[in-house]
């Protein structure tokens, strides 16, 4: 199976979003634990670690599609499920 331009477009978008998710979560985790910055609101550490893990899994799934190891449909389903989980964690952690 060849990588079409549409596949490459989705791969790049998913890679950028998942890399942002990973680095943002790890940056907040670092700032919470190793700096003297005072935050008005802090996410729980488990939320940051789960979001970082899901970002890493999303990067791996994107690379598998690029290497033609998985199909486009499985890539889309997995990516959407990961992003929905992250969105739900983000919303429900703010509500508590």
For the entire predicted model, the pTM comes to 0.88
Q: What percent of the chain has pLDDT over 90?
A: 79
Residues 6+ apart with CB under 8 A from 47: 89, 90, 93
Q: Is the pLDDT of residue 49 over 70?
A: yes
Contact 59, 15 (CB under 8 A): yes
Report the share of the chain in percent with pLDDT over 70. 97
**Is 31 within 8 Å of 37 (Cβ atoms)?**
yes
Alpha helices by DSSP H, the chain: 5-34, 45-66, 72-95
Query: For residue 1, what pLDDT is reported?
Result: 58
């Amino acid at each position: 199976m060849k990588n079409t331009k549409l596949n490459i477009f989705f791969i790049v978008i998913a890679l950028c979003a998942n890399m942002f998710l990973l680095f943002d979560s790890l940056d907040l985790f670092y700032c919470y634990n190793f700096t003297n910055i005072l935050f008005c609101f802090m996410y729980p550490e488990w939320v940051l670690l789960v979001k970082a893990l899901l970002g890493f899994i999303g990067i791996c799934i994107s690379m598998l599609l690029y290497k033609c190891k998985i199909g486009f449909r499985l890539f889309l389903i997995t990516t959407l499920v990961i992003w929905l989980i992250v969105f739900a964690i983000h919303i429900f952690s703010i509500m508590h």
